[in-house]
Amino acid sequence: MKIDDIMSTNITCIDLDQRLTEVRELFIKHEFHHLLVTDDKNNLVGVISERDYLKATNSNLELPTANDKDLAMLNKRVHQIMSKKLVSIKQFTSFNDAIRVFHDTGVSCLPVVNSDNKPVGIITWRDIINWLYSKVQPHKT
């Protein structure tokens, strides 16, 4: 089985120089936890997770007591907080190889790229668990 059988092709990419205000809006608008970071040629260069975002900003942002310093954190740029140690897999990677990468690296998502390093999908450890769960569920007749 190939990873593109279970990967999500519903990805959202963000540019290196976009501000965290845009990251915040995307995380609020969508129900995913990772954004793929691309350069001006649409090459994958990094990942920004919801965890990365929360570490870089202040939890006071959503409170009425948010001050100018709290709000100024949203002016940071994506490249300042993204995970720079990029771990990704190729589009036709086997399921077993993807699981091995998850195990060996401890990442929570694997961006999937084509042969030109353009993002085409993403797979998370939750996708793997959900797929496995679907295989062990008894079939209803």
Q: Answer whether 61's CB lies under 8 Å from 74's CB.
A: yes
Helix (H, G, I), strand (E, B) or coil at 48: strand
pLDDT in tens, 10-37: 999 999 999 998 998 898 888 888 999 9
Residue with tokens 């915040």: 24
Residues 6+ apart with CB under 8 A from 39: 15, 16, 45
Ranges in the chain, pLDDT < 70: 58-71, 139-141
Kind of pairing between the strands at 13-15 and 34-38: parallel
Q: Is the dihedral of CA 123, 85, 115, 39 positive or negative?
A: positive
In terms of CATH, what superfamily is 3-136? CBS-domain (3.10.580.10)
pTM for this one? 0.84
In whole angstroms, give the CA distance from residue 114 to residue 99.
19
